[in-house]
């Protein structure tokens, strides 16, 4: 061996055909990882096999279509039945809350609304009031002519009241020949003006029945609502005021 000649020293374990530090598996793994990432990217952008509604985009099989058609056939009658039940419930509610003859709430519904207003008087400024309107003509025609005439008088009275009240006011039946009006603006001065205005409206109208004309007037009583009252207390107070006032 010539000690003066330089010899190349190979790293232990490195085969003579590759450079020191070269890893023959690393490139293959890098290519494999790159191919896998490429496949994942393509998969993420690929069209999904199932649409958002759960139906295959390529179309439904006959069996699936038959199942859907069967479900649809069951759903439609149920929808119709639900709509009918909803309409029936609305009709029952109307029957339970409306006067059978007049286009106003019945006494139960009117008292419920009156109590609601009394319970929330703290949010009203000024306080609310209750008016009671009693047309004597309805009572007299009921005795002299018949119920149909009395019902027609009450319908005319409701029409006159409805024309002269504020949209926030509420008209309702108190049974018999009495009507109630809830006034959300219930200061004494306003109630007095509203009472006189309503009297003038009645006096300006006449009631015609079977070729005869009758003067149409009403007795009106009112009471300012108090927060410690029940609906019955308010009705009684307005009725006392009504009885103390002359007709006209």
- Give the 3-state secondary structure of residue 105: strand
Query: What is the percent of the chain with per-residue pLDDT over 90, rounded to a whole number?
Result: 52
For residue 64, tell me if it sits in a domain. Answer: no
Q: Is the pLDDT of residue 147 over 70?
A: yes
Please confirm whether the linkage preceding 126 is cis (ω < 30° from 0): yes
- What CATH number did the domain enclosing 113 receive? 3.30.70.270
76 part of a folded domain: no
pLDDT digits (tens, 9 = 90+) for 100-131: 999 999 999 999 999 999 999 998 888 899 99
Query: CA 185 from chain center: how many Å?
Result: 25
Residue 175 has pLDDT above 60, yes or no: yes
Q: Is residue 150 part of a domain?
A: yes
Residue 185 lies in a domain: yes
Q: How far apart are CA 27 and CA 23, in angstroms?
A: 8
Does 24 fall in a domain?
no
Total of domains in the chain: 1
Give me the pLDDT at residue 218, please. 92
Q: Per the domain annotation, does 174 fall within a domain? A: yes
pLDDT recorded at residue 69: 80
Dist. CA 239–CA 7, nearest whole Å: 130
Say if 85 falls within a structural domain.
no
Calculate the CA 70 to chain-centre distance. Answer: 34
CB-CB neighbours of 49 under 10 Å: 8
Cα separations (Å) of 47 from 39, 44, 56, 98? Answer: 14, 8, 11, 60
pLDDT, tens digit, 9 for 90 and up, residues 187-218: 899 999 999 999 999 999 999 999 999 998 89
Q: Can you point out the beta strands (E) in the chain?
A: 129-134, 170-173, 179-183, 206-209, 212-215, 219-224
Range of the domain at 167: 107-244
- The pLDDT value given to residue 97: 85
The verdict on pTM exceeding 0.75 is no
Judge whether 102 lies within some domain: no
């Amino acid at each position: 061996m010539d000690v003066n000649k330089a010899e190349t020293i190979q790293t232990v374990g490195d085969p003579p055909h590759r450079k020191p530090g070269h890893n023959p598996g690393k490139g293959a793994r890098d290519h494999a990882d790159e191919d896998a990432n490429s496949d994942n990217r393509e998969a993420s952008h690929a069209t999904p096999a199932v649409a958002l509604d759960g139906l295959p985009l390529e179309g439904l099989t006959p069996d699936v279509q038959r199942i859907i058609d069967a479900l649809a056939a069951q759903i439609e009658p149920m929808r119709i039945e639900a709509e009918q039940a909803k309409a029936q419930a609305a009709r029952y509610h109307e029957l339970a809350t409306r006067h059978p003859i007049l286009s106003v709430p019945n006494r139960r519904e009117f008292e419920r609304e009156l109590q609601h207003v009394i319970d929330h008087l703290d949010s009203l400024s000024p306080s609310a009031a209750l008016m009671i309107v009693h047309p004597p003509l309805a009572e007299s025609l009921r005795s002299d002519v018949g119920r149909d005439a009395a019902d027609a008088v009450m319908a005319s009275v409701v029409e006159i009241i409805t024309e002269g009240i504020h949209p926030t006011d509420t008209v309702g039946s108190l049974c018999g020949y009495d009507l109630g009006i809830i006034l959300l603006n219930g200061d004494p001065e306003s109630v007095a003006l509203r009472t006189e205005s309503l009297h003038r409206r009645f006096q300006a109208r006449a009631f015609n029945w079977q070729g005869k004309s009758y003067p149409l007037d009403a007795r009106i009583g009112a009471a300012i609502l108090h927060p410690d009252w029940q609906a019955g207390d308010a009705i009684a107070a307005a009725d006392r005021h009504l009885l103390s006032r002359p007709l006209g």
